[in-house]
Structure 1
């Protein structure tokens, strides 16, 4: 998925899961019916350098609907490799996470296109999707990246680097690598499908549809104290930033808002509109970041795309915080 803001969505292929747990308690709202198609599909433009959808792809799920390939499933793609120098950390301890993006010759990449106000976006998510972090690493002159991280629970995590090299003709990439947090491991169950979520006193309502293989609109409306929030502040070049992860393999979908601040038509709330395409049927976890009164908040949702077999994916769960 590309990180550049524009009308529409890019889904970049990831082999691993976005593993991240929120640092502060961002509670999932009450359990309600899963999101269903209540609006006609919204078309979206393909970003420069983005490959067309694989007409025969199923997103990694046998029998799944056709759609664009999921992202972040591989450590190498398009001639670039994510070299994670810190593959192990200790749960509950602040650690300096270090990594480098290398080209086919093993050289560190030192030039990137800026997208969403950053050269590179780093997501860390736990395999059980209970923990989510959107981090902002710092790049040194030699091309190495560092960022502090504090993961609250032991277990397996997935690190996703979302970037576009400055090299002519290079497209947006999302590379994924596994990260282990040592300690006593206690997996969490995936929260039940919900269309409302609470985040630090804010209420976020989700409407729309996440369709396998075709675009649909997702609309999120932010309120506080029963009143719509109409003065959202830009965060990473938009009024909202949405990341979706597929339960089971943590395939990564980076969704982009329809419109941007200052375009003459996009209002600063309460509604934030996105266009998204699921690569397959399945259950997805959606994380919305938004800024208000100088602080970034995260609301989390569980959504089903298409039909999925009955199972444990609808058990209650939780989300923790957001690190910046």
Structure 2
């Protein structure tokens, strides 16, 4: 009987194991350890998610506070490529990086630079009663002039000019050249220091930046500041009587209704009226647009005062194709 031959071990395969390899197979991890690993991964994922959410919340707080007014506003693009802001709801201009009151509405026009944009006038010196050319540019970070703007209430830029005693109010619409230079003829009737406020929505780097920038214009001569007229709710202009109802305060948005007697109010610049409110002392600026439809024949605005104090309100409206401005003094306790 032949002697038994020694059995040769099988060659190990990378993809399969024989019975001679069973002792070398590592034991699988206990279920508890696997569960601990999965739990750790879920906890880590949750922690990251919480950090992201709180970071977003913090950024939202900054963007909704006084730090910036850079926003992406619902808009449409015309066949010509011009961006038009959605104006279907009443809204207020004035929020900008220039600051806001602790309570009440945000304010604008207090700085020549905000939100990465800077107002650069060609000149700030004028002569009383003489028509002169006012030219300026809006430049972005790096100094390049902005040449693209959204159309807001039929215009790419609204320019407000008023003397610091809140007289001499003008609501203007300059034209822009291809190089980004805005220009308009301007007459400042009396000596004094005037505030020019540019209200616009710039299109920069794919973003819509809605802001207001302001600077002073100087008219040499003997300056005799005028006191604000007494507060009241009735004004007369061009044979029309204009009254308002409502009492704005700093705590909540309040309705204000304007009634024009002696003529039918017509749409002007995409609305039945425009209300500009300037604060005495620093010429802080609000530009309020009304509801799209008249309410019992009245133009209805929603207004919040930035702070207690005295204000001058300017209501632009159109009757029989002519634009008029009614003015009132408002005291907010």
Q: TM-score per shorter chain, which class?
A: 0.7 to 0.9
Is it true that 1:296 corresponds to 2:323 in the alignment? yes
Task: Note closer, same or farther for the CA distance 1:6–1:245 as it changes in structure 2 (3 Å cut).
Answer: farther
Per-residue displacement from partner, 1:81-116 (whole Å, max 9, x unpaired)? 010112110011001001000001101110000001
Cα distance in 1 for residues equivalent to 2:295 and 2:247? 22
Give structure 1 regions of 4+ aligned residues with deviation exceeding 4 angstroms.
Answer: 1-4, 13-16
Shift of 1:5: 3.8
Deviation, structure 1 residue 13: 4.5
Kindly indicate whether residue 112 of structure 2 is the aligned counterpart of residue 75 of structure 1: yes
- Paired with 2:167 and 2:287, the residues of 1 have a C-alpha distance of 18
Contact 1:197–1:301 (CA<8 Å) still a contact in 2?
A: yes
Equivalent of residue 157 in structure 2, options 115, 120, 144: 120
Relative distance call for 1:152 and 1:15 in structure 2 (3 A) is farther
More helix by share: 2
Corresponding residue pairs, total = 250
1:202/1:222 contact within 8 Å kept: yes
| Cα deviation, residue 130, structure 1 | 1.3
User: 1:221–1:269: 8 Å Cα contact kept in structure 2?
Assistant: no
TM-score w.r.t. length of structure 2:
0.71
Greater length-normalized contact order (CA 8 Å, ≥ 6 residues apart): 1
Q: 2:277 aligns with which of 244, 258, 265?
A: 244
Answer yes or no: is the 8 Å Cα contact 2:104–2:249 preserved in 1: no
Residue 34 of structure 2 is matched in structure 1 by: none
Cα shift readout 1:208-264 (whole Å, capped 9, x = no counterpart): 12111421111100002xxxx3x32211111111100011111001111012xxxxx
Alpha carbon RMSD of aligned pairs, Å? 2.2
Deviation at 1:6, TM superposition (A): 4.1
Q: In structure 2, which of residues 246, 249, 265 is the aligned counterpart of residue 208 of structure 1?
A: 246
Partner of 1:89: 126
Question: 1:55-204, aligned counterparts within 5 Å?
Answer: 59=101, 66-167=103-204, 168-204=206-242
Change (3 A) 1:208 1:120: same
Cα distance, 1:299 vs. partner?
A: 0.3
Superposition deviation, residue 170 in structure 1: 2.5
Residue equivalent to 1:223: 261
Which residues of structure 1 form unaligned runs of 5+? 17-53, 60-64, 260-265, 308-324
Cα distance in 2, alignment partners of residues 183 and 269 from structure 1: 48
Which of 1 and 2 has greater Rg? Answer: 2
